[in-house]
Chains A and B, each alone.
Chain A
């Protein structure tokens, strides 16, 4: 039972990891008594986001550098949105996705971020600010961040068409998602999204069951099959939604999907246990499978990838010292340490040049330039990620981000789409 062995080995490692985390947490109070910090009267910021964007190490380092205490509030992607809309007083700082902004900005519960107070604003990657990488335009379908980056005013409920002083989100992380595969089980090259519904993988494929993201993966498949060319995959017409869902239902009824997944851990379990061989996946989930010693590749595909980006926003009610502290934290976040940490996780950071100064040249070459590792690559927690000589899947920053074909989004026909998605699940 090779798989079972691997699984039990992991839980041991996980246990060690959580023990280390507890030890780390226990170490924090010692810092509190440092005199410099006492004088600064530490301010606590409640930081709302999903688990993927939170790391105790970042909070610890931020406290050392700025004296600001970060208290993480961990919820799922959909719950971040729900919290902002229904309980805007329950956090001081939120890290949310650009695609959610269509629902968040009109609620009026967030305030614009002042570009003048963000020191490194001019250095923020053009992927976010212009939808370009090294001067080249990248895929613009869906909610490309630059389309929703500016507000008409601090308390405006409308996006501005041209740059203003007021920003919706200051980017934290972004990446390009694609399919995860088990190369050891598949044993041949995979180059197209169409492979997700290839009968060869009947009963061994999976697609994400978060409607707004799953429909995009489905659209990539439909387009790759040559069934339909979408005007905008991120904003389909009713007819296009019907067609996409009908196609999904056809494959579901034929038994193509082993399961659907909603939760990060489910996707890891499906892949690690060999229940699936090809599926929608997120980059840290691929890393999680690999850390178990099981081969898993985040496969670049010829039709491109589905981009996503998240960033900081402030609740409308934030004022005074907390507001100043929030800007200070955002500035610290962009100043390099956190960026390097995120880059080592396989995400991309908002300001590349500051992150570079906090990374070793060989690390930068591996993670960002797509070069073979000249030394073993370690994760941010010090664990061994890749052996010397490995090349990152998808290549360099430029190659990976230029491959984005569409961005996560909320469509005009969102309500209709959710209803049709439920039909797919029920079929």
Chain B
């Protein structure tokens, strides 16, 4: 009977496995294969060359003048990753804490939770364009600051800058941190917190020794969401950075637009490897499966 149950489990999993194989694994393998092909402006031909990978690292020498393009691009993307991750973590943690431990009525909790999804009510492009009247040279923020006589000239760095990119990214990604954190916090037994309080723990001690350790899984999952989205997001970097800030995704898009599919594939493989390494490192710190 045991083997029969086993078999039926496999059968139940097979549709998902087939979908993943067909629409995820196969294309991924193809990208890997194409990354070694050679190309002209109008054709790609099967080959095994390292030219595409060599091309990515062109100009990267020890002792070269300044970092090469790929390095500075990754550093720039990594910068956003760290900043956005740190801000969304703190912000997401506070909001989740408030929703779970401070809001008493569940209807209120649902209502406030829905408010957190407002950034997703409009399309990405419209959201980006809407930042212009807010942060632009003649935007609301600048006008308000000038009318309050806090500044004499409009602040240029509010829009089309790293600041603007970080603001927009935090705006979109905080909810990815909130949801898994709410999930973790909601499962913390109130009796644990009561016990801590009875034992004389301060609010801060309870937070540090009970709540944060029990949220490790939520933090890890939220971090994976935020990191993977930020690493691949070239649209926000492009629109909010005025297309003047490099991002790995934009480089790939430019290569695809120039019909340089193999070199774009090589860039994609590199990005994938990089993100996988980051996530592997994260999983080594927190065993997500154990936490679920």
Q: Which residues of A contact B (CB under 8 A)?
A: 1, 3-4, 7, 78-79, 81-82, 85, 102-104, 106-107, 203, 206, 209-212, 252, 257-262, 265-266, 269, 273-275, 410, 414-415, 418-419, 421-423, 425-426
Contacts and interface: CB of A to CB of B under 8 A. Distances in A.
Contacts of A423: 69
Interface stretch (B95-103, B218-226, B237-245): B237-245
Contacts of B93: none
A104 B76 CA distance: 35
B244 A414 contact: no
Interface string B108-124: 00000000000000000
A68 B138 CA distance: 48
A107 B244 contact: no
A271 to B, nearest CB: 12
B143 interface: yes
Interface of B: 40-43, 55, 58, 69, 72-73, 76, 129, 132-133, 136-138, 140, 143, 156, 159-160, 238-239, 241-244, 246, 250-251, 254-260
A106 B138 contact: no
A425 to B, nearest CB: 6
B254 A418 contact: yes
A423 B246 CA distance: 9
Contacts of A426: 69, 72-73, 76, 246, 251
A426 B159 CA distance: 18
B42 A260 contact: no
Given A107-B43, A426-B76, A419 B132 contact: no
A415 B257 CA distance: 12
B76 A82 contact: no
B68 to A, nearest CB: 9
Nearest to A104: B42
Most buried by A among B243, B251, B258, B259: B258
Contacts of B143: 1
B55 to A, nearest CB: 7
A415 B39 CA distance: 10
B243 A274 contact: no
A54 B187 CA distance: 56
Contacts of A410: 41
A79 B239 CA distance: 20
A7 B260 CA distance: 39
Contacts of B43: 85, 106-107
A261 B259 contact: no
28 contacts: A1-B138, A3-B138, A4-B140, A82-B256, A85-B42, A85-B43, A206-B242, A209-B243, A210-B257, A211-B254, A212-B258, A257-B244, A258-B242, A259-B160, A259-B241, A266-B239, A269-B129, A269-B132, A274-B137, A275-B137, A275-B159, A415-B41, A419-B58, A421-B254, A422-B251, A425-B246, A425-B250, A425-B254
Contacts of B256: 82
Contact of A419 (B55, B73, B250): B55
A103 B160 contact: no
Contacts of A81: 259
A260 B136 contact: no
A423 B254 CA distance: 12
Nearest to A107: B42
B138 A260 contact: no
Contact of B257 (A78, A252, A273, A419): A78
Nearest to B251: A422
A258 B160 contact: yes
Nearest to A7: B133
A79 B42 CA distance: 13
Contact of A418 (B58, B76, B242, B255): B255
Contacts of B242: 206, 257-260
Given A1-B143, A426-B72, A82 B244 contact: no
Candidate in B42, B156, B159 with the most chain A CB atoms within 10 angstroms: B42
A273 B136 CA distance: 8
Nearest to A79: B257
Contacts of A82: 256-257, 259
A256 to B, nearest CB: 10
B243 A425 contact: yes
A183 B69 CA distance: 37
Contacts of A252: 244
Contact of A273 (B138, B251, B255, B260): B138
Contacts of A4: 133, 138, 140
Contacts of B238: 262
A149 to B, nearest CB: 19
A103 B39 CA distance: 12
A262 B250 CA distance: 11
A257 B243 CA distance: 10
Contacts of A414: 41, 258
A259 B255 CA distance: 20
Given A4-B133, A425-B244, A274 B138 contact: yes
Contacts of A257: 242, 244
Nearest to A410: B41
B69 A422 contact: yes
B228 to A, nearest CB: 22
B39 to A, nearest CB: 9
Nearest to A259: B242
A301 to B, nearest CB: 24
A78 B43 CA distance: 15
Given A78-B257, A419-B55, 20 more contacts: A1-B143, A82-B257, A85-B43, A106-B41, A107-B42, A206-B242, A259-B243, A262-B238, A262-B243, A266-B239, A269-B129, A269-B132, A273-B132, A273-B136, A273-B138, A275-B137, A275-B159, A415-B41, A422-B246, A425-B243
B66 to A, nearest CB: 10
A421 B58 CA distance: 14
B227 to A, nearest CB: 21
With most chain A CB atoms within 10 A of its CB, the pick from B137, B241, B251, B260 is: B137
A79 B55 CA distance: 24
A3 B239 CA distance: 20
A103 B251 CA distance: 21
